[in-house]
């Protein structure tokens, strides 16, 4: 392996090693041979468990501390020199104070351990979209997961040696002490430090930390966008290809939509769906005035519970080899994994996610943690698109915002313009899930699904969206969806999953000017007859319910939006104008 010759990189690694005091520093070259040797160490120490080699070849099982099972937003900070640059939706501390606090925690945190230096790329190496980083860690789980989630090894070392900028990422699991856990971003230094956690969302620093928090900061500075969005490719029977980006808070069906399986009716017609990305999009304006997106990741970090042959067969197939399963249940009879809603055959001789003996037939306790995960290579996905591997970017026809709302939001509506769409995204709400620490089922505002991930002041982020719209001669159309509306019995009205394609096809028809719509205070809605319900057990009355806008409910929503907006010193004029129009429209209902 060619050594790192870039002295800026080497000096930083030496400085971090002097602080953390590991016994040894090992550079990761990304080779199968090296990763296999490292895996053996993790199996020997018990940090990880090898699963059934015949049924789950190359797969590993990993368990976190019971108090370290999700992203910890209260312990995630954006440290800019000025507090207003971080904004009211982020936790902030002055960089000089935070560095001092963290240095004490990192001091000697790797004694008796190996420091692994992981050179990685977000995006295909050498493309305009690519960003490089080096993560230093004392966790083998991080090494093996980063080798799945990012591009790791020699091509990145070559870029570093040629003088490429890089994000400095330091992680130590230290004592996995929840009271001293911090995930800290220093955007102005292009630096991320994470300590006292071993859960993926807090420690795989290429993912949410670089790709979104630091990425959004860099995007604003450099004129592009880093977004919490899937990228879906839809191929029509006539061969026309369209690309859709979608922003949804965690556990709101984003991965399911990214790997959607068309209903038989559409499959027989010749519709094909492919996956470009399931979680993060980096977007730039092309020379033709259109918006282009890439998925900067190299793998999927998906929520396991609820993933099954019906909800997401493609995700399930993706996990069948070279995957790391975290905090799921384990079947001791055949050394495989299980989680809630995988199937109706939980193991009788099993271990739950805490490692306790567990009989899924009789236990009232869950076998898998609600936020248990799989970390799987994207290349495993049966629907992965060729465009994923080029990393050059695909032209986006539509952007979809969506959250989990039982009553307020209709099934789908289209914004009246790009600027109005920015307002729609800024007012997004969702009911909370287990993906983040805290109470489940609470309605919270989550603009563009970015509230936990925006690396700077969110009012400036909204302005950046407005400014990006001005750079486009042919911007994507913006839509809002809600797959989760319920009836009087609190049962979902819309079937969801593959049938969401029916709504996407109306959107694409709108993009091409080929579908009708009705103007409402929220935007343009389809008429019930505009959604193709062939072979669907759903009548016109159900669709009316799904598309209904209730005046009283929306008066309450408006109060919630006002309260959310009140924390910002300034908002773009375009957002204020769209909000005023919504208020008038709702009052006129």
pLDDT by residue (tens digit) across 15-63?
A: 999 999 999 999 999 999 999 999 999 999 999 999 999 999 999 999 9
pLDDT > 70? residue 502: yes
What pLDDT score does 433 carry?
A: 58
In this prediction, residue 442 has a pLDDT band, given cuts at 50, 70 and 90, of confident
In this prediction, residue 515 has a pLDDT band, given cuts at 50, 70 and 90, of very high
Strand partners, 230: 246
pLDDT > 60? residue 245: yes
> Which one from 252, 381, 454, 511 is the annotated catalytic residue?
252
Calpha distance 585→40 (Å, rounded): 63
Cβ(87)–Cβ(101) under 8 Å?
Answer: no
DSSP string, 536-551: -S--HHHHHHHH---H
pLDDT by residue (tens digit) across 525-583?
A: 999 999 999 999 998 899 999 999 999 999 999 999 999 999 999 999 999 999 999 99
What pLDDT score does 92 carry?
A: 98
In this prediction, residue 496 has a pLDDT band, given cuts at 50, 70 and 90, of very high
3-state secondary structure 167-223: EEEEEECCCCCHHHCEEEEEHHHCEEEEECCCCHHHHCCHHHHHHHHHHHHHHHHHC
User: What is the share, in percent, of the chain residues with pLDDT greater than 90?
Assistant: 95
- The two three-digit tokens of residue 318, written as one number: 């993706």
Tell me the average pLDDT across 196-211.
Answer: 97
Tell me the average pLDDT across 457-483.
Answer: 98
Q: Average per-residue pLDDT in the chain?
A: 96
The sheet with strand 229-235 has its strands ordered as 272-277, 229-235, 241-247, 398-402, 477-481, 412-414, 524-525, 518-519
| Burial class of residue 417, CB neighbours in 10 A (0-12, 13-18, 19+) | middle
Calpha distance 427→445 (Å, rounded): 7
Question: 294: which residues sit within 8 A by CB, 6+ positions away?
Answer: 123, 124, 127, 129, 231, 276, 277, 281, 282, 391, 392, 393, 394
pLDDT > 80? residue 1: no
What pLDDT score does 439 carry?
A: 63
Tell me the average pLDDT across 336-360.
Answer: 98
Q: Is 65 left (phi over 0), alpha (psi -120 to 50) or beta?
A: beta
Listed in order, the ranges of the chain carrying CATH 3.40.449.10 are: 7-30+72-222
Question: 37: which residues sit within 8 A by CB, 6+ positions away?
Answer: none
What pLDDT score does 308 carry?
A: 95
Calpha distance 98→85 (Å, rounded): 16
- The two three-digit tokens of residue 60, written as one number: 């590993």
Cβ(327)–Cβ(302) under 8 Å?
Answer: no
Domain 300-379: assigned CATH number? 2.170.8.10
Residue numbers in the known binding site are: 71, 199-201, 208, 228, 250-256, 279, 371-373, 404, 497-500
Report helix, strand or coil for 553. helix
Q: What is the DSSP letter of 82?
A: S
Domain 7-30+72-222: assigned CATH number? 3.40.449.10
Task: Output the pTM of the full model.
Answer: 0.96
Tell me the average pLDDT across 56-73.
Answer: 96
What pLDDT score does 435 carry?
A: 53
What pLDDT score does 111 carry?
A: 98
- The two three-digit tokens of residue 448, written as one number: 């563009």
What pLDDT score does 436 carry?
A: 57
Listed in order, the ranges of the chain carrying CATH 3.90.228.20 are: 227-295+391-587
In this prediction, residue 167 has a pLDDT band, given cuts at 50, 70 and 90, of very high
3-state secondary structure 327-392: CCEEECCCCEEECCCCCCCCCCCEECCCCCEECCCCCCCCCCCCCCEEEEEHHHCCCECHHHHHCC
∠ CA 296-298-300, nearest 5°, is 105
Tell me the average pLDDT across 218-233.
Answer: 98
Is 79 tagged catalytic?
no
pLDDT > 90? residue 186: yes
Cβ(215)–Cβ(208) under 8 Å?
Answer: no
Question: 331: which residues sit within 8 A by CB, 6+ positions away?
Answer: 337, 338, 347, 349, 350
Tell me the average pLDDT across 304-322.
Answer: 95
User: Pick the residue with more confidence: 249 or 369?
Assistant: 369
* Residues constituting the chain: 589
In this prediction, residue 251 has a pLDDT band, given cuts at 50, 70 and 90, of low
Question: Residue 139: which of 106, 110, 107 has the closest Cα?
Answer: 110
Tell me the average pLDDT across 108-119.
Answer: 98
Residue numbers in the known binding site for GTP are: 251-256, 373, 404, 497-500
Instruction: For residue 343, count other CB atoms closer than 10 A to its CB.
Output: 10
pLDDT > 90? residue 441: no
- Alpha-carbon distance values, 175 to 110, 145, 498, 510, 526 (Å): 10, 20, 44, 54, 54
Query: Nearest 5°: phi and psi at 279?
Result: -145, -40
What pLDDT score does 127 carry?
A: 97
User: Tell me: domain 227-295+391-587, CATH 1.10.10.10, correct?
Assistant: no
pLDDT by residue (tens digit) across 403-423?
A: 999 999 999 999 999 999 999
Calpha distance 205→172 (Å, rounded): 11
pLDDT > 80? residue 129: yes
Calpha distance 451→472 (Å, rounded): 25
Listed in order, the ranges of the chain carrying CATH 2.170.8.10 are: 300-379
Question: 487: which residues sit within 8 A by CB, 6+ positions away?
Answer: 493, 545
In this prediction, residue 443 has a pLDDT band, given cuts at 50, 70 and 90, of confident
In this prediction, residue 6 has a pLDDT band, given cuts at 50, 70 and 90, of very high
Query: Nearest 5°: phi and psi at 316?
Result: -60, -45
What pLDDT score does 490 carry?
A: 87
| Burial class of residue 403, CB neighbours in 10 A (0-12, 13-18, 19+) | buried
What pLDDT score does 485 carry?
A: 94
Report helix, strand or coil for 563. helix
What pLDDT score does 588 carry?
A: 97
Tell me the average pLDDT across 326-344.
Answer: 98
- Alpha-carbon distance values, 137 to 27, 48, 198, 373 (Å): 11, 16, 10, 20
Calpha distance 79→76 (Å, rounded): 10
């Amino acid at each position: 392996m060619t050594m790192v010759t870039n002295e800026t990189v080497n000096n930083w690694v030496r400085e971090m090693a002097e602080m953390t005091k590991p016994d040894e520093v090992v550079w990761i070259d990304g080779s199968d041979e090296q990763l296999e040797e490292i895996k053996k160490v993790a199996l020997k120490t018990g940090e990880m468990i090898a699963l059934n080699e015949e049924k789950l070849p190359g797969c590993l099982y990993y368990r976190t501390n019971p108090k370290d099972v999700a992203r910890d937003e209260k312990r995630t900070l954006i440290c800019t020199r000025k507090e207003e640059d971080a904004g009211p939706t982020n936790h902030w501390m002055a960089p000089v104070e935070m560095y001092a606090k963290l240095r004490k925690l990192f001091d000697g945190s790797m004694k008796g351990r190996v420091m692994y230096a992981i050179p990685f790329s977000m995006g295909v190496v050498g493309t305009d979209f690519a960003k490089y980083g080096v993560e230093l860690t004392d966790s083998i789980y991080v090494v093996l997961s980063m080798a799945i989630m990012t591009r790791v090894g020699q091509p990145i070392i070559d870029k570093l040696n040629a003088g490429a900028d890089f994000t400095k990422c330091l992680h130590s699991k230290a004592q996995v002490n929840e009271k001293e856990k911090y995930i800290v971003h220093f955007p102005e230094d292009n630096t991320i430090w994470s300590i006292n956690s071993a859960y993926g969302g807090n420690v795989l620093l290429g993912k949410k930390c670089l790709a979104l928090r630091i990425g959004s900061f860099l995007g604003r500075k450099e004129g592009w966008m880093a977004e919490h969005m899937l990228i879906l490719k839809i191929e029509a029977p006539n061969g026309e290809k369209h690309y859709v980006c979608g922003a949804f808070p965690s556990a709101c069906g984003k991965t399911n939509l990214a790997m959607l399986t068309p209903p038989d009716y559409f499959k027989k017609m010749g519709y094909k769906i492919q996956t470009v990305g399931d979680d993060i999009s980096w977007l730039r304006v092309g020379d033709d005035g259109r918006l282009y997106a890439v998925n900067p990741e190299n793998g999927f970090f998906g929520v396991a519970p609820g993933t099954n042959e019906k909800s997401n067969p493609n995700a399930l197939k993706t996990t069948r080899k070279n995957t790391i399963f975290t905090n799921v249940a384990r079947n001791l009879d055949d050394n495989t994994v299980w989680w809630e809603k995988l199937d109706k055959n939980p193991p009788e001789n099993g271990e739950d996610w805490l490692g306790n003996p567990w009989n899924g037939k009789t236990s009232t306790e869950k076998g898998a943690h609600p936020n248990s995960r799989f970390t799987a290579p994207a290349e495993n996905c049966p629907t992965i698109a060729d465009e994923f591997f080029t990393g050059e970017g695909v032209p986006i026809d539509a952007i979809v915002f969506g959250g989990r709302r039982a009553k307020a939001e209709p099934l789908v509506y289209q914004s009246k313009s790009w600027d109005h769409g920015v307002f729609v995204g800024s007012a997004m709400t969702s009911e909370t899930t287990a993906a983040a620490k805290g109470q489940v089922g609470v309605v919270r505002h989550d603009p563009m699904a970015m509230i936990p991930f925006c690396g700077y002041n969110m009012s400036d982020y909204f302005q950046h969206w407005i400014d990006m719209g001005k750079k486009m001669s042919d911007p994507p159309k913006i839509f809002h969806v809600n797959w989760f509306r319920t009836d009087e019995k609190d049962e979902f009205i819309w079937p969801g999953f593959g049938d969401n394609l029916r709504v996407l096809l109306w959107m694409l028809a709108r993009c091409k000017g080929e579908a009708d719509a009705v103007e409402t205070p929220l935007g343009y809605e389809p008429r019930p007859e505009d959604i193709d319900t062939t072979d669907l057990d759903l009548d016109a009355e159900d669709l009316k319910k799904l598309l209904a806008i209730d005046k009283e409910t929306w008066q309450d929503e408006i109060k919630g939006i006002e309260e959310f907006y009140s924390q910002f010193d300034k908002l773009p004029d375009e957002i204020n104008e769209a909000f005023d129009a919504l208020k008038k429209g709702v009052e006129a209902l």
